Amino acid sequence: MLEVEFTHILGGFTLDIAFSSGGGVTALFGRSGAGKTSVVHAIAGLLRPRRGRIAINGAVLVDTENRIFVPAHKRRIGYVFQEGRLFPHLTVRQNLLFGSWFAARATNAASRARFDDVTALLGIDHLLARRPRRLSGGEIQRVAIGRALLAAPRLLLMDEPLASLDATRKDEILPYLERLRDHGRIPIVYVSHAATEVARLATTIVLIADGRVQAVGPVAEIMGQAGLYPLAGGFDAGAVLVARIVAHDPRWDLSELEGGFGRLVVGRIDLPVGSQLRVRILARDVIIAGERPASVSSLNVLTATVEKLVAVGAEAVEVELRAGTDRLLARITRRSQQTLGLVPGRRVFALIKAIAVERRSLGHDATTDFAADAQIFEG
């Protein structure tokens, strides 16, 4: 359990942050300059807030009222920086062991992640003798993650760890991060301005804009909310659905998914039947029909109810739909809204092209009970 509540002034910018989150991945989501990095700096102890309180599993790290400020090196909070920040004078092995040189006294051997496990998890066992200079961007980030993990942290902070990488490298690292989330027992605070990453990794989203927390909640709930687009800074709005693969259709190279929303046919996904996954459906890929369409090329027609309408920009409206137990987002013109007579409560049909499902947003989803994990990290 991470509790963060503080105010700070940086230049002319005021930060007023308050949120709490459990285990799994807590994504601090928002545009560049919203104050996300300052929040993780405050959690890490690299920034001393003017006023406030930060605690993790009940252990107080900052409490300005009681004049408590635990210095960074005593916090046991791992930090993966955007630029990796590997020590250039040390080999990869020495970089990885750096934290354990100092952590050895503070923690017992049992809780320390084992070296071999971590290097295997991150796929860096073959790099150990190299110097950071000789690593690719993706390798640097994986070593940086390993270095933070091996310092036996009780919380892992990741500040845009993929921002400096190209798309290929991102795809190389994302599965490792998912593995970390699903198998590691360390809660993660993940800073990002990329909706795709957040949709794929986050358990909880903390939406930050202009130095303030605008929304906190589970990923599907926040991503499915209309009107967040302007706050989060120009990302492509899109709902996140948790689904299970129920069948593959080799004849047409399609896969069928099932979730709280109903059934969805998408392009073939190379995962076994029964796998849980996340699907992000962009608001602009959802078409709304007033009647059940008789013959359309779209394979998916979901029954839904209009929940909320939010105008974005001059011409568009974001429509929040409820399909079964899930939320969907659609982006349509104001004219279409008028023509269809869309108001909250109206029953509609949402059309989703099978092709439209964003392949890069397809993330593995292991629905873990994070409350149980949090217990392990107490004390």
Say if residue 105 is exposed, middle or buried (CB neighbours under 10 Å; 0-12, 13-18, 19+): exposed
Binding site for another protein (CB under 8 A): 44-46, 71-79, 81, 83, 85, 87-89, 98-99, 101-103, 106, 131-134, 147-148, 151
Least Å from the CB of residue 186 to another protein: 14
State the minimum distance, in angstroms, from the CB of residue 372 to another protein: 27
- Smallest distance, another protein to C-beta of residue 7, A: 22
| HSE toward the beta carbon, residue 71, CA cutoff 13 A | 1
- Supply the angle between the helices 137-149 and 92-106 in degrees, to the nearest 10: 20
Residue carrying structure tokens 């969907």: 328
The distance of closest approach from Cβ of residue 56 to another protein in the complex, given in angstroms and rounded to an integer, is 14
- The nearer residue to another protein, 151 or 223, going by C-beta atoms, is 151
Separation in Å, CA 235 to CA 31, 34, 355: 9, 14, 20
Closest CA to 202 of 44, 83, 30: 30
Task: State which residue, 147 or 278, has the beta carbon closest to another protein.
Answer: 147
C-beta closer to another protein: residue 16 or 83: 83
Least distance in Å: CB of 248 to another protein?
A: 45
Beta bridge partners of 2: 21, 56
Q: Which is nearer to another protein, 147 or 181 (CB)?
A: 147
Amino acid identity for residue 191 in this structure: V
Minimum CB distance to another protein smaller for 148 or for 321 = 148
